[in-house]
């Protein structure tokens, strides 16, 4: 499956670690939801993490050797797949696992090297290079202050999630 095979729009939020991707998304998601957008989120992590509480059934079964666990209740479902500790997850495979019914948008945090449309989060004070200068899939930069270089895409104010939400909604309408 290719990234272009999906019937829903995918918008990435890409940046170097510590730039504020999660903080922005935490403020952006409620604004998009208030505008009626039904969305899903896929987050990439470079760290090991635990989804379940130690000692709970799904944790015990995973530790017993189950490579995949689907935990389901009338409240929520969760899919856990053990990785090999070396291979990065495949974004297309993760997107294929989403329930597309009623889905207007998928936000992706991380996966900055994937060829998906994305908004770059940039903090000039971190001294990291601008992704938009090398990645034609970047459609805007959200920064806490203007970068020193001229950028080829719109500049959004990182600390104004409403401005970012308006940009995302305008992008969605243009599709």
DSSP 124-144: GGG-PPPGGGT-TTEEEEEES
Q: Which CATH class is domain 3-44+88-174?
A: alpha beta
pLDDT number for residue 48: 46
Average pLDDT over residues 87-93: 85
Whether the per-residue pLDDT at 51 is higher than 70: the answer is no
- Closest C-alpha among 26, 43, 27 to residue 108: 43
Residues of the chain with CATH 3.40.50.300: 3-44+88-174
Average pLDDT over residues 114-133: 96
Write the pLDDT tens digit of every residue in 153-171: 999 999 999 999 999 999 9
């Amino acid at each position: 499956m290719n990234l272009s095979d999906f019937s829903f729009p995918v918008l990435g939020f890409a940046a170097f670690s510590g730039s504020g991707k999660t903080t922005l998304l935490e403020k952006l998601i409620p604004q998009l939801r208030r505008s009626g957008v039904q969305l899903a989120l896929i987050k990439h992590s470079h760290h090991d993490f635990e989804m379940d509480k130690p000692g709970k059934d799904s944790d015990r079964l995973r530790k017993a050797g189950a490579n995949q666990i689907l935990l389901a209740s009338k409240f929520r479902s969760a899919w856990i797949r053990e990785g090999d500790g070396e291979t990065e997850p495949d974004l297309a495979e993760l997107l294929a696992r989403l329930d597309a019914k009623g889905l207007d948008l998928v936000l992706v945090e991380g996966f900055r090297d994937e060829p998906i449309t994305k908004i770059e989060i940039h903090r000039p004070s971190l001294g990291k290079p601008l992704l938009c200068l090398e990645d034609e899939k970047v459609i805007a930069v959200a920064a806490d202050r203007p970068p020193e270089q001229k950028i080829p895409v719109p500049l959004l104010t990182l600390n104004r999630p409403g401005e970012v939400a308006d940009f995302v909604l305008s992008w969605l309408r243009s599709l």
